[in-house]
Each structure stands twice: as structure tokens, then as C-alpha cells.
Copies of this chain bind each other. A is one copy, B any other.
Amino acid sequence: MYQSETTVRVRYGETDQMGYVYYGFYAMYYEVARVESLRQLGVTYSEIETMGIIMPVLENKSKYLAPARYDEVLKIVTTIREKPVLRIKFEYEIYNEADKLIHIGETLLVFVDKQTNRPRKPPVEMENVLAPFFS
């Protein structure tokens, strides 16, 4: 299991007239969280695309436990529970400034060769940095 932490500050444009973060913007927070999660391991998603690999999303799930509000700094704990083979699943827990768990999410992505458009295994660079967490 690999776990990491990152933060995002809620932007005004991400709130809606209910005064909460619009439910659709959490996916953007997930993206920030998983990209930072990989970066902390030394792999950037940007480099992965340069290698000719894209990682489209297959599934996404969200549970909204309590609202997030404007200007709050949200803490996102990201977990990779299983060693990625053809797919990689990220799980997220989001905490507000009072350290209350307000949101749970998960995203399943697939590794795709950009040229052939076919599924493939993760880049070696990613396998290498993740290996110690799944042995």
C-alpha cells in the first residue's frame, strides 16, 4: 500500500449558489491529488504522456459526507491499495480545516499505449518506484 497527502485550497469559481463546492469539481481535486501522489514518488504524469502512455479514467466514485466551503484548505489523503497491473486505482479521503472527513472517492484508470490505443502495463519507472510498497 502506498499513501500520500496533498492539499488544495477551494477557489471561488468552484463554489455554487448553495455555498458549497459544486459536486462536479471534486474530480479535479482527485486529479491534483493523484498527480501529486505520483510526483512524491518521483514520477510525473506529464512524463508518462511523453513516453507515449495515456491514462484515461474507467470508473469514478464519490461520497459527499459534508460540504467543502470557499477558501478552505482541504487535505487529501491518497491511497494506492493494490499493485497496478493494467489498471491503477486511487482512493481519496478529503478532510476539511477542522480535520473532519468530508468526502471519500476513488478513481480507476487504465494504462493505454497512445499509438496502438491498446491497454498496456505501467511504465517501468512507475513499477520501480511503487515496488517497495507492494512487496
Identify the A interface with B (CB < 8 A): 9, 11-13, 15-20, 22-25, 27-28, 31-32, 35, 44-46, 49, 54, 56-64, 67, 70-71, 107
**Majority secondary structure, A binding face:** mixed
A13 and B28 CA atoms in complex are apart in Å by 7
A84 to chain B, nearest CB (A): 17
Residues of B with C-beta under 8 A to A57: 23, 62, 64
- List 20 contacting pairs A-B, 8 Å CB cutoff, sorted by A: A11-B31, A13-B22, A13-B27, A16-B16, A17-B17, A18-B54, A18-B56, A23-B27, A24-B24, A24-B25, A24-B27, A24-B28, A46-B70, A46-B71, A56-B64, A57-B62, A58-B63, A59-B62, A60-B61, A61-B61
